[in-house]
Amino acid sequence: MIEERNKERVGSLYRDVWDQFKKHKGALFGGVVFLLIVISVIVGPFLWPFEANAIDIRSRNQGPSFIHPFGTDQLGRDTLARMLAGGRTSIAVGLCAMALTIFLGTFIGVTAGFYKRLDGPLMRLTDLFLSLPLLPLLLVMMLLFREPLSSAYGPERGMFILIVFAIGITSWMPTARIVRADVLALKEREFVLAAISSGSSNSLVVRRHILPNVLSPILVSATLGIANGIITESALSFLGLGFPPDFPTWGRLLNDAVDYLQQYPERVFWPGLCISLTVLSVSYLGDGLRDALDPRMRKR
């Protein structure tokens, strides 16, 4: 009987969240657009007949046509094929960097908020990372660790690990601050105090009572983390410090198109449009999740 009531409550909560989410037209639009982009970059390379790195000098520098809808580059490579392959890499970097960011931010935020002794040192560490200049730090990390990781894991895999780690290690601080603030408020609530008084271990209290109640800000931070990862990877690739030239990403495509900007401006337009659409759709999705998961918004 109790289990059935719990299931009904969970189902009612999910329905309330979905009803509130549906009211946010921008969030619905963002979710549909992001889903279409993800499906396209996953399935598209298997359906499109051209390879991303297939060179055809006789077809170089062509404009949009029926055979090549987005044209070709200076080596005759199909731009649409490179866009699909580049999107897969850029979104994979964004998702993996987001996962690392959320893990670090949640772990440090919960630890600092729940354990008073560790609050001061962990928050000073957070302030230290917030004070560091982001772009110079990323550039230094690229220059220091690019060669060792490329030698150990290969150029593509090594750069993927380095970029994900660099983005994750420099982006966890806002999540940690938000989670800590929620944990400080939660641990004074009656149900948490009752769980501690009943003899439950700290780890059990955190898993069963703290983490489920800070899920809302974590999910919102996750959506914003995807956008931040994609933008940062694109910026590094645009500066020439990302993946190798023969490994396409949206940022690398922008970097390659700069030299041909006046003759072929569409080469900059397509990757820039995909980056903007992806980041915008994820941002709208995060806004919708924030409103849907906020109990005060659902009551309205």
- Contact between 251 and 138 (Cβ < 8 Å): no
- Residue partners of 300: CB distance under 8 A and separation at least 6: none
Q: What share of the chain is helix, strand, coil (3-state, %, to 5)?
A: 80, 0, 20
- Does residue 155 sit within a domain? yes
- Does residue 25 sit within a domain? no
pLDDT score for 260: 83
pLDDT score for 14: 67
pLDDT score for 11: 52
Pick from 214, 224, 218: nearest CA to 284: 224
pLDDT score for 294: 64
- Does residue 278 sit within a domain? yes
pLDDT score for 6: 45
- Does residue 11 sit within a domain? no
- What is the Cα–Cα distance from 140 to 223, expressed in whole angstroms? 27
- Does residue 134 sit within a domain? yes
CA distance to 10, 240, 294, per residue, from 299 (Å): 17, 49, 9
Domain that holds residue 267: 78-299
pLDDT tens-digit series, residues 57-109: 888 888 888 888 888 888 888 989 999 998 998 999 999 999 999 999 999 99
- Weakly modelled stretches of the chain, pLDDT under 50: 1-10
Burial of 76: CB neighbours in 10 Å, binned 0-12, 13-18, 19+: middle
- Does residue 61 sit within a domain? no
- Does residue 141 sit within a domain? yes
CATH number assigned to the domain comprising residue 253: 1.10.3720.10
- What is the Cα–Cα distance from 65 to 50, expressed in whole angstroms? 14
pLDDT score for 12: 60
- Contact between 114 and 195 (Cβ < 8 Å): no
Q: How many CB atoms lie within 10 A of CB 137?
A: 14
Question: Into how many domains does the chain fold?
Answer: 1
pLDDT score for 297: 54
In the 8-state DSSP scheme, what is residue 243? S
- Does residue 59 sit within a domain? no
pTM: 0.85
